[in-house]
Structures are given as structure tokens and as C-alpha cells.
Amino acid sequence: KQEVTQIPAALSVPEGENLVLNCSFTDSAIYNLQWFRQDPGKGLTSLLLIQSSQREQTSGRLNASLDKSSGRSTLYIAASQPGDSATYLCAGTTTSGTYKYIFGTGTRLKVLA
């Protein structure tokens, strides 16, 4: 059974720091991988999608990479801001073609002003 672990579970940093959030799949057979942010009591906001043929995606201060050989993904946040405070979730689909997302345990980020 695929399980997804995110490390760290919680993180509190001063504004301006560069951050790395980690996501690890027990089964490295990942087809697509997506990073989301979730604000308290809200739905999901898609940040970056790494499709099956890709290994990395960038959007503004965010960069996500996927190492399919190890089943690990990292989300890099440059020059963090208080507005980045949220829970970050990674989710992956397997190669079975069902396109079902398995979600990670989440990282709660707090960026202090």
C-alpha cells in the first residue's frame, strides 16, 4: 500500500529564509506528482504539477523536483514570506493509470514577520 510521508511535519522560520519541504513515497512508482497549499479551513490550491515525463517544475519562488528512482520529491521555497504560511501537501498518482492521488501527511509552515 502506497504511503506518503512529509518531513518536517511542522516548521516555523523567520521571514526571508529559503526552505526545503520533503515528500517520500513508499512505492517509487509515481506517475504524476503535485504540490498543494491549504490554508486553515480552506480547500486546496495547486502549486506545481510534475507530469509523468517531467522531473522538475518552477513557478516564481517555488521549485519542485521529483526523483522517481527513490520516490522522493522536494519543494523549495525561496525568500519565504508570512503569506507563505499554510499547510503544504504533496500528492502522487501511481503508474496504474487510475490517476488516484495519494496524499502526504502535510507540512505546517509558519513564516514569522
Per the DSSP assignment, residues forming a β-bridge with 30 are 94
> From the CB of 16, what's the least distance to other proteins, in Å?
28
Q: Which of 28, 65, 74, 105 binds other proteins (CB under 8 A)?
A: 105
- Over the window 18 to 57, marking each residue x when it contacts other proteins by CB under 8 A and - when it does not, the resulting string is -------------xx-x-x----xxxx-x--x-xx-----
Write the CB contacts of 31 (distance below 8 Å, at least 6 apart in sequence).
Answer: 52, 92, 93, 94, 95, 97, 99
**Subset of 83-102 contacting other proteins (CB under 8 A):** 89, 91, 98-102
Nearer to other proteins, 28 or 38 (CB): 38
Task: Return the amino acid letter for 73.
Answer: S
> Rounded distance, CA 75 to CA 71, Å?
14
> Rounded distance, CA 85 to CA 15, Å?
10
As given in the structure block, the three cell numbers for residue 30 are 509515481
> From the CB of 34, what's the least distance to other proteins, in Å?
8
Residues in contact with other proteins by CB under 8 A are 31-32, 34, 36, 41-44, 46, 49, 51-52, 89, 91, 98-106
